[in-house]
């Protein structure tokens, strides 16, 4: 039932976080942290990290603060994703949520707060979530899979230097399919976005692979490459 005309409208911020972590089979997949709701409405359900927006706080500052308070994370990559404001998102008020998304490296994710009210789950096999948070995560996954096709967003999951095999693992985890190593190498080198560092991976057996870095001076058009991602239904 729609809210009454005089129902309060509240502004909130939430954040979807993605990190690459191994699943039970040892494969790298996308994981996201959830926070258990400790008050009504929908007490006990899992939800995205977030909170109300104070009148005197900037949006990104509020997103970073609530994220740090609930998970202990302070990601370097934090970007505004979308604003969700359907009338019946919450049963007791009109709630408009400005949603951010964050990408973190696996070692940073390992330092996140752990406890009964914080839980990491594979982003593609979510439990029941509060409100419309499943739809929000699905939208964030679609955006990530689209952006990885034409930007250096995969860099957020990596260190400053990486091998092509490590980069391919990121793409395969995000796109959820295997990529031919030779074709992937040719595509990445031809993109002009990578530069050799002149160094080799230390400690590697046999022939050590080359280390690469992203070239910040490279500019690529926001056009689709051969990897296609369908937008989730509203």
Residues 131 and 156 in one domain: no
DSSP structural state of residue 106: H
Q: Is 137 found in the same domain as 60?
A: yes
What CATH number does residue 167 fall under? 1.10.10.10
Same domain? For 55 and 121 the reply is yes
In a shared domain, residues 173 and 142? no
Domains in the chain, number: 2
Both 115 and 45 in a single domain? yes
Whether residue 33 lies inside any domain: the answer is yes
Residue 2 in any domain: the answer is no
Residue ranges making up the domain that contains 94: 9-146
- Three-state SS at 108: helix
pTM of this structure: 0.86
**158 and 86 fall within a common domain:** no
Residue found by looking up tokens 């949603």 in the block: 99
Tell me the pLDDT tens digit for each residue of 142-152.
999 999 988 88
Distance of CA 42 to CAs 66, 128, 180, 229, Å?
19, 11, 45, 32
Q: What is the pLDDT of residues 2-51, one digit of tens each?
A: 555 566 789 999 999 999 998 888 889 999 999 999 999 999 999 999 99
**96, 126, 146: which is the final residue of a domain?**
146
């Amino acid at each position: 039932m729609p809210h009454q005309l005089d129902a309060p409208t509240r502004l909130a911020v939430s954040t979807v976080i993605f990190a690459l972590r191994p699943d039970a089979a040892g494969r790298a997949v996308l994981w996201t942290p959830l926070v258990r709701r400790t008050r009504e409405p929908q007490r006990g359900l899992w939800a995205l990290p977030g909170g109300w927006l104070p009148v005197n706080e900037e949006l990104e500052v509020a997103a970073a603060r609530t994220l740090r308070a609930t998970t202990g994370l302070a990601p370097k990559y934090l970007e505004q994703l979308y604003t969700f404001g359907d009338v019946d998102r919450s049963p007791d008020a009109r709630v408009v949520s400005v949603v951010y998304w964050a990408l973190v490296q696996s070692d940073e994710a390992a330092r996140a707060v752990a406890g009964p009210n914080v839980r990491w789950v594979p982003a593609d096999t979510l439990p029941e979530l509060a409100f419309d948070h499943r739809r929000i995560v699905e939208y964030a996954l679609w955006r990530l899979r689209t952006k990885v096709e034409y930007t250096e967003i995969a860099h957020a999951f990596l260190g400053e230097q990486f091998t092509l095999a490590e980069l391919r693992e990121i793409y395969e985890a995000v796109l959820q399919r295997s990529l031919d190593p030779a074709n992937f190498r040719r595509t990445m080198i031809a993109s002009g976005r990578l530069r050799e560092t002149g160094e080799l991976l230390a400690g590697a057996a046999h022939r050590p692979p080359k280390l690469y870095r992203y070239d910040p001076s490279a500019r690529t058009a926001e056009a689709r490459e051969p990897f296609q991602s369908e937008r989730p239904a509203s």
